[in-house]
Amino acid sequence: MKPSLPACDFALSFRGPTFTIVPPRFSLTVHSPLIHRPIVDKDLDMTLYRPFVHSTRQLYDYLLESLPWYRVQYTVRGMSVKTPRYTSVYGKDITNSRDKLYQKQPRPIPPLLAALKNEVEKVSGSSFNFVLCNFYADGKDSISYHSDDESFLGPEPSIASMTLGATRSFYMRPKTDKSVPVLKTDLRDSDLLIMRGKTQHCWEHSVPKRANAAPRINLTFRKAMNVKGTNNYYRYNVGDGPVFRYIHGRMVQIMSDNSKTNEPAVLI
């Protein structure tokens, strides 16, 4: 499969200080996956495509350096929660409602992510309207056991997850039957994992912490069915805190997205 090349020479613009990053010119080539491995267990329906995409180094560098990243903190039942990874999110639910219904202005999916979404839609046969991006800077960054089973995703959501960069363990366990051993998979650079059917309803997944791990980007593609989904995704993946950019090999905290002032960028 050799799709036409997406336009990668574009500038992404976001609020806050502007950076001009000259994107590399490269081709996004998705090829017939060498491994197309259905992993089927009780109420588990996953397919791993390995490798899914070429030019992963350029994709990784470009996404890391061009997207704004957030380290979201929020409060649940009076408890302060710090998200242990960087996140960024793009998209809007299918209702395509008027802007004033959204707590935060939804962001259009940038062209490179839209091109990837298009390729993922072709192999999965599902359509998506959100791309959630995770950046795990090191082994201390993680995602704890959860299911992507919110009602705003519909009854049997398909979730597609792409890995760029370092390999990390991906654990799955059934929600109820604790006697079933944890299903352990390594997700590697260029992997595409598609979960569908009852998987989110019956199983939980996680990327556990590690003593040592190189940086990794994960992109998840989803379909939100209502305004609540859009509000949820921006609340937990952008939040109200500072914005970070990856500049010259390190994460730099710059002024808040919400800031009305024109303060200079602050290094952390």
Give the binding site for ligand AKG (CB under 6 A): 132, 134, 143, 148, 161, 170, 187, 205, 207, 218, 220
Nearer to Fe ion, 121 or 148 (CB): 148
User: Among 218, 204, 254, which residue's Cα sits nearest to residue 137?
Assistant: 218
For residue 248, the minimal CB distance to ligand AKG (Å) is 25
Max CA distance (Å), the chain = 56
For residue 145, the minimal CB distance to ligand AKG (Å) is 10
Query: Is position 138 an interface residue for Fe ion (rule: CB under 5 A)?
Result: no
Single out the residue of 43, 148, 150, 257 in contact with Fe ion (rule: CB under 5 A): 148
Residue 228 contacts residue 215 (beta carbons within 8 Å):
no
User: Among 19, 59, 23, 85, which residue's Cα sits nearest to residue 247?
Assistant: 19
User: Among 134, 158, 142, 127, which residue's Cα sits nearest to residue 46?
Assistant: 158
217 interface partner picked from ligand AKG, Fe ion, none, CB below 5 to 8 A per type: none
CA atoms within 13 A on the CB side of 180: 17
Nearer to ligand AKG, 8 or 137 (CB): 137
For residue 153, the minimal CB distance to ligand AKG (Å) is 11
132 interface partner picked from ligand AKG, Fe ion, none, CB below 5 to 8 A per type: ligand AKG
Selected range binding Fe ion among 77-85, 96-104, 148-156, 169-177, rule: CB under 5 A: 148-156
Take residue 21 and report the two structure tokens written for it: 């990053």
Please state, in angstroms and as integers, the Cα–Cα distance from residue 120 to each residue in 3, 17, 53, 159, 171, following that order: 12, 32, 10, 10, 22
The residue ranges that bind Fe ion (CB under 5 A) are 148
